[in-house]
Structure 1
Amino acid sequence: MRRSNLPAELNRFVGRTSEQRELARLLGESRLVTVVGMGGVGKSRLALRAASAAEKRYADGAWLADFSVLRDPELVALALAEALGLTDHSLRPPEETLIDHLSERRTLLVVDGFEQLVEECAPLLRQLLERCPGLTVLAVGRRPLRVAGETVFALAPMGADDAERLFLARAAAAGAPGSDPDAPGPAFDPAAVRELCRRLDGIPLALELAAARMPLLTVEQVLHRLDDRFRLLANGARGTLPRHQTLRTAIGWSHELCTPEERLLWARLSVFAGPFDLEAVEYVCAGRELPPERVLDVLDGLLAQSLVVREVTPAGPRFRILDTVSVYGAEWLAALGDAERMRRRHRDWYMGLATWCELEWFSPRQAEVAVCVDAALPNLRAALELCLEEPDEAHLAQQLAGTLWFAWVGCGRLAEGRHWLDRALASGPVHPDHTDHTSARLKALWVLGYVAILQGDGTAGVAALHECGKRARATGNALAQAYATHRMGCLALLSDDMPRAEELIDRALVAYRELGELNSNVLMAQVELAMARGFLGDLEGAVALCVDVREICEERGERWTRAYALYVLAYAAWARGDHPEARALLTECVTINHTFHDLVGLVLAIELLALVTASEGDPSEAAVLQGAALPVWDVVGLQLFGSGHFNGPRALCAREAGELLGAERYGASVREGQGLSLDAAVDRALSVRRHPAARVSGSPAPRPFRTKAPENAEARRLPHW
């Protein structure tokens, strides 16, 4: 089970022995330790080193939340939950989700780069520390949080010996001749190295930038060039702390040593928020002064100088410009008068990426799309923020937020999707004369309706879908009207109004076929129609619909919708007594849903798998699985959507397992399941268990999908269009 998301060290950690020892001591004595210091002094590296060393003391692991690329204060709690691997589809404030998760766990949380969001971070961390006694926070920033109980650890630059060792180690790694005193050939002059480290004030970032130049320059040449920079800045800005000025000098000196193309690329890279790939750089940063065919070589030059770092991510190789370096580049970009144009190019690239991802979601590259969007999320947020800055560009925000429906719904980000959709739809005027503006708004509306329904917010869902349907009819947008009708049918399905669900979803499917629309949403409509018909007693018809969906998914390489079709087919297999087939289908279903972080599909599959397990003759394990589903429902929303139909498998399983085990043993097994983490619950569900006590094929199967008529069914019936 995953107990940490701390990144591995990419090069050797040098020095800081006394600082490591002191930080370890403070972590043993205080539940909130904040490492403060100037940019480039090595705060993050030291904190991660200390967290890795302390991780074994925390039963539930050490987790890093990197806020350095976050700018929206409303996303602080969501970003923290995401760092902990939590997903919450419900309408609960994310703060409650965090408290529920951490309250009974012993966890070390590293919060890095919080300074631009300190007003939001400080009260959140105080609340978590007050409510979660097993939580320890190691915060990293340029200023304290000013929270009661905080212990501040001020990190100074390196001492002389450590600074020299770091410089020599990094110079040797860069391939500099003379950096290794044991290697043949002339070695660096120790006095010159000592003087260079002194002039750079022992600031690790400055030392590493200087070391990266050693393959081309001697230590004496670097000193000479630094002398020129210091003299130039001697009459610079008053009130600047000497060490801050030293770092700025070192970065400015690195900037001067770059070629004109490297300086230009450095400035343009500052528009990226978080990791980026080569294709993004080539589109956003290339131009007349920097031809596309030169971008790779120029980027390689920045990499060689340690101004840009390369990372290996699940989405493939990505690059990242160091925060302090990015700030310097942004100042140069503004001085060039090119910042707004570059921000728009950045936005255009990520809008294009989102469009490509939406198209490729319905393809064999679906899993690749999921990890691509995950890696691009900080930049997608930056693009959305830019769209929202100008009211006249609100339609672009609506288009982008709507295009990312698959990320919100299919990849477990309902809460963040709701945040952006609400903001996009609330900003800017409605332009009925602009077809593209209207289309963007309509798409954002039906996606908002979809997200709100899955969150259990039927009121907001109906409002958004009603507006979408009304405007679609008024503007003749048949496709948007079909989506609105489809999602109203989805709400009817979850509200136990099966005749209405069948009518609306069937109507939407007819419209989709007439319009030639085929994608994951359309196939999901077919699965939802199958569910409605199954709930109404037509299991054979439901199976036929889902077999068709499965075949199309196999042809197209689609997996997300396929999992929901497998869920229906698994129920049918269980109903006819074919438990091995039901288990095989649900095993694939659980695997797919867990891969895409789709908690709705995952928890439904676990619930049905519990019933299959009970029917196989293992009521204790069935109760464990039922218990494992409960925490997932807590984050998904209303348990089984408050639906009598969807509650059928759970109710039947509870009855059968409870009768065989007795109330005490059944309750103990459920509690055991409740204590499992999500990953452990999935591992448990995927454990293959075969039992001889399976029901004989052909014997009557209970009908669990409808245990009782829903209360006040007439009141829950949805209004007609």
Structure 2
Amino acid sequence: MRHRPLRRTARGNLPSELSGFIGRGAELAELGGLLEVSRLVTVTGVGGVGKSRLVLAAARSAAEDAREASEAQGAQGAHAPVEERYCDGVWLAELACVRDPALLELTLSEALGLTDHTTRPPRTVLAEHLADKRLLLVLDGFEQLVDETASLVRELLLRSPGLRVLAAGRRPLEVAGERTFPLAPPVPEEALALLEARVSAADPAFAASAADRAALVEVCARLDGIPLALELAAGRLRMLSPAQVLSRLEDRFGLLTGGARGGLPRHRTLRTAIGWSHELCTPAERLLWARLSVFAGQFDLDAAEYVCAGPDMPVEGVLDLVGELLAQSLLVREETAAGVRFRMLETVRLYGAGWLESLGDAVRLRRRHRDWYMGLATWCELDWFSPRQHEVAALVEAELPNLRLALECCLDEPDELHLGQYLAGTLWFYWAGCGRLTEGRHWLDRTLDPPGGQETQYEGSRLKALWVLGYVAALQGDATASMCALYECRDGAARSGNRVAAAYAVHRLGCLALVSDDMARARELLGEALEQYRAAGELNSNVLMCQVELGMALAFLGDLPGALALCGEVREICDERGERWTKAYALYVLAYAALEAGGTQEARRLLTECVEINHAFNDLVGLVLALELLALVTVAEGDPAEAAVLQGAAEPMWGGVGLQLFGSGCFNAPRLMCRERAGEVLGAERYAAYAAEGRELCRESLVVRALRGAARVPRPAGLGGVPGPRVSRSTARADQP
């Protein structure tokens, strides 16, 4: 059968709409027209005017158009003309919680689902990823980083001809070619429809009389139709009649329209609406509003109770107060993978932050916030070695903005730098296990080498940060930085008598030897570290990973019985403890040994579970290793075409892992063997065509295909038996991809 390339399909990360989008039909049409003629469109306007909702509605419309175009092309056949725009998806990057300019590129990478384990600058990674893509990037809330955002957008647009950007902010980016779209409040009819819809959603039994409707019309007029102000008013209509709401607005309108001389009227109106909501709150509700402003992004009830409670706010009363703020639309409730969480709209949060500063309580609340997230990170590290690994990963992912804020708090106070080192080190499982090496390196470098070069006397915290830095740098392929950190950790541990830190330093030096292809040295160091762990009574995911890495070194050296014994024991412990992340690497070694012994069916079964686990944790290192070994298994099963597809799909991942790091010697063997064996049957041209098909697969589609392969009936290809993956190192190095 003739090879036919796989079509790309539109995809993205747009959130589902929680409440209906009311009106704005004319604005949507005009915005869509601007996107047709300009590669950068920025929607501007006062906070609360509805910029975010409008750009999200426009983005959903663009994504739907791309999906329909893809489906239409599929129905017409492979030779139908393809609608190219946004065939690589529509992606949202929310920037409101980003304060550190160094995290801007990382935030965009995360939004795009881009994982990179190398030491390349994140901007370079972004530009290379987007260079040949055709997608729409939506940026929301960039005001606090307008210069940095403008610089990044300018470079990406220059280097990515298929990229279009739709931004929402209070001011333009002022990038060449930008088309601005100043957004005014909705027309009176739409404003009234929005208010009535929100009131009905809050109280389905609400039925407006003629007098009520007249009062609602006047409320809309008083609030200039600003959507955020109307949302706040709708929250009050749960308790007050329309006439009462209007009366209270009138009472405070003159008092609360103050502000900076010469300010825009709508800015004063918005402050009126928020100030009016503040006036209607009880003293306890106002206090909680101010204290909740210390959170970045989402937070849960436990965090709110710890951070905000005190002698003037009993912890048992926080729940009811949160409920009141929620009823008044001052808080938003969201269902997430980490459970029910709450969030303040940025404009509302900033108003509360101003009150917190005026109360003189901001510093104390920031420290309480930091202390909570120090405790959260400590608990998560302990709970990582349990059946709750996936829940821990989801929780840390949800809390990342707050953890960043806690790290910044530590860095702001030189006397508490040791807390930052502890926090950055404690999150090792997230940096290494969930595809966050670049961000982990950012925080570890900052806490270990802060501006001004402050020294810390808290040796334990520094030692932990050092071995974690050595681990992260090794996985990034930065051998020099890794060795420097690990030797400093080892020497410091020897001086202080810290046996556990010493074991971690030796372990990670062994890990560095392993990924550097020095298997004999890796065997020596990893064996030594394992003995030190056992002597210290240490048992966790790191210790088990040390045992797996020792097994991997033995397997690559040809000692398959030794590797099977070590990794079989790890598998049993992981099953007993519910540990999954380390288990995936043990399964990889067991599959390698099974394939060496000719057990392709067993190897496939092991690798299927390995791929599933690594994908769930976004562990790119483990995933690409497993996929390449799975491709070799597929060759051994007699399906070289499918093997070429899998191999072609895995190859681009090495750009994110670090080709120089894992691209030679033993780690390269499965790729070389697959290419050689499949190429012998298919021929160079057909192999290249199938590999090109694989390169078009997104990661999710690739994983689905790899997992589905377990039930696939192999296609005879006349290969016969296929040797195991072991090759000589000279062969591996001579045939670099």
TM-score by length of 1: 0.95
Residues 465-490 of structure 1: CA deviation (Å, up to 9, x unaligned): 01111111111111111100011111
Counterpart in the other structure of 1:47: 55
1:406 aligns with 2:414: no
Distance 2:152 2:635 in 1: 43
Matches within 5 A, 1:308-707: 308-427=331-450, 434=457, 437-638=458-659, 641-688=662-709, 689-691=712-714, 701-702=723-724, 704-707=726-729
**One-letter code aligned to 2:579:** E
**One-letter code aligned to 2:322:** L
Counterpart in the other structure of 2:157: 129
Q: 1:13 to 1:234 in 2, by over 3 A?
A: closer
Distance 1:696 1:128 in 2: 46
User: Could you tell me how far 1:222 is from its partner in structure 2?
Assistant: 1.9
Counterpart in the other structure of 2:269: 246
1:141 aligns with 2:169: yes
Q: 1:624 to 1:261 in 2, by over 3 A?
A: same
User: Could you tell me how far 1:581 is from its partner in structure 2?
Assistant: 0.7
Distance 1:193 1:66 in 2: 33
**One-letter code aligned to 1:96:** T
1:36 aligns with 2:44: yes
**One-letter code aligned to 2:341:** R
- Check conservation: 1:615, 1:694, Cα contact below 8 A: no
1:290 aligns with 2:313: yes
Bigger mean CA offset, 604-613 vs 496-505: 496-505
Q: Alignment partner of 1:647: what SS?
A: helix
**One-letter code aligned to 1:136:** R
Q: Alignment partner of 2:730: what SS?
A: coil
User: Could you tell me how far 1:163 is from its partner in structure 2?
Assistant: 1.3
User: Could you tell me how far 1:705 is from its partner in structure 2?
Assistant: 4.8
User: Could you tell me how far 1:392 is from its partner in structure 2?
Assistant: 1.5
Candidates 297, 302, 322, aligned match of 1:299 = 322
Candidates 84, 89, 95, aligned match of 1:61 = 89
Candidates 110, 117, 142, aligned match of 2:145 = 117
Q: Alignment partner of 1:302: what SS?
A: helix
Tell me the C-alpha RMSD between the 2 structures.
Answer: 1.9
Matches within 5 A, 1:62-81: 62-81=90-109
Q: 1:632 to 1:703 in 2, by over 3 A?
A: closer
Candidates 106, 119, 124, aligned match of 2:134 = 106
User: Could you tell me how far 1:233 is from its partner in structure 2?
Assistant: 3.4
> Identity of paired residues, percent?
64
User: Could you tell me how far 1:226 is from its partner in structure 2?
Assistant: 1.6
**One-letter code aligned to 2:244:** Q
Distance 2:572 2:733 in 1: 38
Residues 576-621 of structure 1: CA deviation (Å, up to 9, x unaligned): 1111110010000000000000000000001100110111111111
Candidates 69, 74, 97, aligned match of 2:125 = 97
**One-letter code aligned to 2:624:** V
User: Could you tell me how far 1:51 is from its partner in structure 2?
Assistant: 0.8
- Check conservation: 2:10, 2:90, Cα contact below 8 A: no
Distance 1:425 1:621 in 2: 47
Bigger mean CA offset, 688-697 vs 201-210: 688-697
Q: 1:661 to 1:328 in 2, by over 3 A?
A: same
**One-letter code aligned to 1:77:** E
- Check conservation: 1:640, 1:646, Cα contact below 8 A: no
User: Could you tell me how far 1:160 is from its partner in structure 2?
Assistant: 1.3
Bigger mean CA offset, 5-14 vs 82-91: 5-14
Gaps (5+ residues) in structure 1? 713-721
Q: 1:651 to 1:65 in 2, by over 3 A?
A: same
Counterpart in the other structure of 2:207: 180
**One-letter code aligned to 2:714:** H
**One-letter code aligned to 1:593:** N
User: Could you tell me how far 1:497 is from its partner in structure 2?
Assistant: 1.5
**One-letter code aligned to 1:489:** G
Counterpart in the other structure of 1:718: none
**One-letter code aligned to 2:481:** A
Bigger mean CA offset, 142-151 vs 287-296: 287-296
Distance 2:471 2:572 in 1: 25
Counterpart in the other structure of 1:717: none
Candidates 289, 295, 302, aligned match of 1:266 = 289
Distance 2:294 2:707 in 1: 44
Q: 1:440 to 1:577 in 2, by over 3 A?
A: same
Distance 2:728 2:582 in 1: 24
Distance 1:365 1:95 in 2: 34
Counterpart in the other structure of 2:187: 159
Distance 2:653 2:57 in 1: 33
Residues 158-202 of structure 1: CA deviation (Å, up to 9, x unaligned): 21111111112212222287x534xxxx45433322222111111
User: Could you tell me how far 1:682 is from its partner in structure 2?
Assistant: 1.4
User: Could you tell me how far 1:640 is from its partner in structure 2?
Assistant: 6.0
Distance 2:397 2:211 in 1: 45
Distance 1:381 1:235 in 2: 35
Q: Alignment partner of 1:125: what SS?
A: helix
TM-score by length of 2: 0.93
Distance 1:335 1:164 in 2: 35
Q: 1:525 to 1:192 in 2, by over 3 A?
A: same
Distance 1:429 1:138 in 2: 41
Distance 2:448 2:459 in 1: 11
Q: Alignment partner of 1:81: what SS?
A: helix
Counterpart in the other structure of 1:168: 196
Q: 1:571 to 1:220 in 2, by over 3 A?
A: same
User: Could you tell me how far 1:654 is from its partner in structure 2?
Assistant: 1.4
Candidates 86, 95, 106, aligned match of 2:114 = 86
Bigger mean CA offset, 628-637 vs 647-656: 647-656
Q: Alignment partner of 1:687: what SS?
A: helix
Q: 1:472 to 1:199 in 2, by over 3 A?
A: same
- Check conservation: 2:636, 2:719, Cα contact below 8 A: no
Bigger mean CA offset, 395-404 vs 622-631: 622-631
User: Could you tell me how far 1:533 is from its partner in structure 2?
Assistant: 1.1
Counterpart in the other structure of 2:31: 23
**One-letter code aligned to 2:411:** L
Distance 1:60 1:13 in 2: 25
Residues 115-167 of structure 1: CA deviation (Å, up to 9, x unaligned): 11111111111111122122111000000000011000000112111111111
Counterpart in the other structure of 1:716: none
- Check conservation: 1:455, 1:637, Cα contact below 8 A: yes
User: Could you tell me how far 1:334 is from its partner in structure 2?
Assistant: 0.8
**One-letter code aligned to 2:664:** S
Gaps (5+ residues) in structure 2? 1-8, 67-85
User: Could you tell me how far 1:703 is from its partner in structure 2?
Assistant: 5.3
**One-letter code aligned to 2:101:** P
- Check conservation: 2:257, 2:269, Cα contact below 8 A: no
Bigger mean CA offset, 374-383 vs 636-645: 636-645
Bigger mean CA offset, 636-645 vs 558-567: 636-645
